[in-house]
Structure 1
Amino acid sequence: MAKVYKSVGGRKLTKILALNEAVQAELDVRTFEIAVRAEELLVQHRADGHARIDIDEGRVDRFVVLSDERGQQAALSIEYGRQASVVVRTDKDGNDYLDAVPPMDGLYVLATAAHLPKKRKGKVKVD
């Protein structure tokens, strides 16, 4: 009967496998493919926004990121959509006014690009 060890030389077997050169190369390929698909989907909907697709690299994992740091920081709304709301804005003279923000369906750019199910984020309760 074979014996499977949880660690080798003090390192977890899962970590050793994850850091394998071939595994890391495949992660790079798949991350790039997802990022390209996500960028294609985002470009189809971009009017004048600043959102972009980035790739971040951790020690083991890769991340495809929808970033809107240069714009309205609306990446979450772009991905999952938003409900209608009213916000207080200030004009150039310093006067406050109410502005209606219309609802928007999510584009699910990252979920679609990664072939994941489209799930809307649940509401967060604030007590």
Structure 2
Amino acid sequence: MAQVYPTIGARSLAKAIAVHDGVQAELTRRAFEIGVRAEEILVAHRADGHAEIDIEAGDNNRYVILSDDRGQKAALSIEYGREESVIVREDKHGRKYLDVLPAMDGLYILATASNLPKKRKGKVKLD
């Protein structure tokens, strides 16, 4: 009968598989494919925004990121949508203004590109 060892040298079996050249190449390939699909979806919806798709490599992982660092920092709202909200703004003379930010449906760019289920993030209750 075969015996399976939980380690290979000093590494766990899972770590040894994760760092294998073939596995890393496949992660890179799949992240690139997801990134290309995400970029296509984003471009189809972009009017004048600054959002972009980035691909980053971690130690043993790849990340496809919806980034809006150059714009309104609204990547979360772009992906999942938002409810209507009222913002109070004050000018340099102390006058206050109310701005209404309309509700927006999420585009689910990353979820669609990676074939994951579309789930809206729930509200956080602060007590």
TM-score (structure 1 length as normaliser): 0.95
Q: Give distance in 2, aligned partners of 1:70 and 1:98.
A: 25
- Tell me which residue corresponds to 1:43: 43
What letter is aligned with 2:99?
D
Question: Partner amino acid for 1:75?
Answer: A
Superposed, 1:1-127 pairs within 5 Å as 1-91=1-91, 95-127=95-127
RMSD: 1.2
TM-score where L is the length of structure 2: 0.95
Per-residue CA deviations over 1:62-94 (Å, capped at 9, x if unaligned) read 000000011111000000000011012244766
Identity over aligned residues, as a percent? 66
Q: Which runs of structure 1 show a deviation greater than 2 angstroms over 4 or more consecutive aligned residues?
A: 89-96
Extract unaligned runs of 5+ from structure 1.
none
AA aligned opposite 1:73: K
Aligned length: 127
